[in-house]
């Protein structure tokens, strides 16, 4: 009897994951398994590296570590992954133009890579997977504050299963960036302003759009404290503002570091040029050919390119960007004002980044960070017919674009 009681007590007291974390883990594991199998199969038909061509995907070969690297990691080693791994391994300055990549993600990969004995690709992959699970859980909690858990589940499903959702599973910055954004907004909604500022600072050090989360945070602060400010003055704002100041301070520290490497110059008589240098860095224009223009210029350039020389890559990008822009505008009308502010700011920034050779390159991936899109889709997907249509289209595009990425034929 005593033994049975002790066993029952142990079973009932066993810690269990919250619904948000449980759903995040299951969703992540499911999509990671699907993408790993899909990417390995595509890479067996279209190998990029000698190891991909030499080692078969099936049956498993020895040594097991080499086979796992070939199946799980090498099919993802494309485009920006190569740059992040290089920065983690060698630091900034080893390659011309690497200073354009923000520091937090390669720093985390570098720290973990050293612990793993120099396995920097594995380290970058692990950082992304951990951040992806945490991002899904926090985004679930954030959505559930206003919409309930059913919408939160659908929103995170639609995010990870969206046409560019597989990028959250890559050794890219997207999972870490959206984790910082979701954590900052969730902390702000709970009144934890220093934590919100710290999370926003992490987002600002991850990628350019991360700095934009400061706008909705300031709106949330005013919304939460305006009655107190009217009664007692600005003093109640000073502590929260000090916490949120971590975000511009983090961005300033990154600019100072870039300046030490010769990658910062300003013309204060050219306001757009100042924004360009803060958000994109001179190396973006000097090495990569990116620059900042007025919103809509890249889309106009892409349409002109299509008229002169139609390309499937451009057609796909234009269609995705037009669709996601329309969804952003619709979502902004129904979203919480702070979320709408973030959505519109990200949209305007991305539609202002010009890369003449391939207009709208990576635009759809950047717009996938606009999480209110997926909240709105989750509302629509209450109806089974709408849910079936959206999930089917998403699955087809997810598989197509994921395959093109592995084939080295699509810059996500």
- Residues of the chain whose pLDDT is less than 70? 1-14, 264-280, 287
First to last CA, the chain: 61
Task: Report the C-alpha gap between 32 and 88 in whole angstroms.
Answer: 23
Residues forming beta bridges with residue 353, ordered by sequence position: 292
C-alpha torsion angle, residues 393, 396, 397, 398 (rounded to 10) = 110
pLDDT tens digits along 293-339: 888 889 999 899 888 888 898 899 999 999 999 999 999 999 999 99
Please give the pLDDT value at position 277: 61
From the number of C-beta atoms within 10 Å of its C-beta (0-12, 13-18, 19+), residue 276 rates as: buried
Which residue in this structure is represented by tokens 């059913």? Answer: 150
Please give the pLDDT value at position 273: 55
Please give the pLDDT value at position 253: 92
Contacts of 371 (CB under 8 A, 6+ apart): 139, 143, 155, 159, 178, 181, 182, 339, 343
pLDDT tens digits along 33-83: 999 999 999 999 999 988 888 988 988 887 888 999 999 999 999 999 999
Task: Report the C-alpha gap between 127 and 68 in whole angstroms.
Answer: 17
**CA 220 and chain centroid, separation:** 22
Task: Report the C-alpha gap between 285 and 201 in whole angstroms.
Answer: 25
Which residue in this structure is represented by tokens 């919480």? Answer: 336
Contacts of 60 (CB under 8 A, 6+ apart): 67
Three-state secondary structure of the chain = CHHHHHHHHHHHCCCCCCHHHHHHHHHHHHHHHHHHHHHHHHHHHCCCCHHHHHCCCCCCCCCHHHHHHHHHHHHHCCCHHHHHHHHHHHCCCCCCCHHHCCCHHHHHHHHHHHHCCCCHHHHHHHHHHHHHHHHHHHHHHHHHHHHCHHHHHHHHHHHHCCCCHHHHHCCCCHHHHHHHHHHHHHHHHCCCHHHHHHHHHHHHCCCHHHHHHHHHHHHHHHHHHHHHHHHHCCHHHHHHHHHHCHHHHHHHHHHHHHHHCCCCCCCCCCHHHHHHHHHCCHHHHHCCCCEECCCCHHHHHHHHHHHHCCCHHHHHHHHHHHHHHHHHHHHHHHCCHHHHHHHHHHHHHHCCEECCCCCCCCHHHHHCCCCHHHHHHHHHCCCHHHHHHHHHHHHHHHHHHHHHHHCCCCCC
């Amino acid at each position: 009897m005593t033994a049975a009681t002790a066993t029952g007590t142990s079973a009932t007291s066993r810690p269990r994951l919250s619904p948000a974390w449980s759903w995040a883990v299951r969703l992540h594991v499911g999509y990671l398994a699907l993408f790993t199998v899909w990417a390995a199969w595509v890479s067996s038909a279209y190998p990029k590296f000698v190891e991909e061509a030499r080692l078969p995907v099936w049956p498993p070969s020895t040594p097991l570590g080499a086979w796992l690297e070939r199946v799980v990691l090498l099919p993802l080693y494309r485009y920006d992954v190569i740059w992040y791994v290089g920065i983690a391994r060698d630091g900034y300055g080893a390659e011309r133009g690497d200073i354009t990549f923000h520091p937090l993600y390669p720093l985390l990969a570098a720290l973990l890579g050293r612990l793993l004995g120099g396995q920097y690709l594995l380290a970058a992959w692990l950082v992304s997977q951990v951040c992806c699970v945490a991002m899904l859980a926090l985004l679930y909690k954030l959505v559930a504050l206003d919409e309930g858990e059913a919408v939160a589940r659908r929103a995170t499903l639609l995010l990870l299963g969206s046409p560019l959702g597989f990028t959250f599973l890559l050794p890219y910055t997207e999972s870490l960036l959206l984790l910082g954004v979701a954590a900052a907004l969730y902390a702000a909604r709970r009144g934890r302003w220093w934590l919100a500022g710290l999370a926003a600072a992490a987002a600002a050090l991850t990628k350019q759009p991360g700095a934009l989360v400061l706008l909705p945070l300031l709106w949330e602060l005013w919304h939460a404290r305006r009655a107190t400010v009217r009664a007692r003055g600005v003093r109640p704002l000073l502590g929260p503002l000090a916490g949120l100041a971590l975000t511009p301070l983090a961005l300033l520290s990154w600019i100072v570091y870039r300046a030490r490497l010769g990658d910062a110059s300003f013309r204060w008589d050219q306001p757009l040029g100042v924004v360009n240098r803060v958000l994109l860095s001179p190396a973006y224009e000097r090495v990569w050919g990116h620059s900042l223009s007025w919103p809509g210029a890249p889309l106009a350039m892409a349409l002109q390119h299509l008229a002169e020389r139609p390309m499937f890559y451009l057609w796909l990008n234009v269609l995705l960007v037009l669709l996601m822009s329309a969804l952003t505008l619709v979502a902004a009308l129904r979203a919480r004002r702070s979320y709408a502010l973030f959505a519109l700011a990200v949209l305007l920034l991305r539609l202002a980044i010009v890369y003449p050779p391939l207009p709208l390159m990576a635009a759809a991936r950047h717009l996938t960070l606009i999480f209110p899109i997926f909240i709105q889709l989750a509302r629509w997907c209450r109806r089974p017919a709408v849910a079936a249509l959206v999930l089917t289209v998403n699955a087809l595009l997810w598989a197509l674009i994921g395959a093109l990425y592995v084939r080295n034929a699509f810059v996500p």
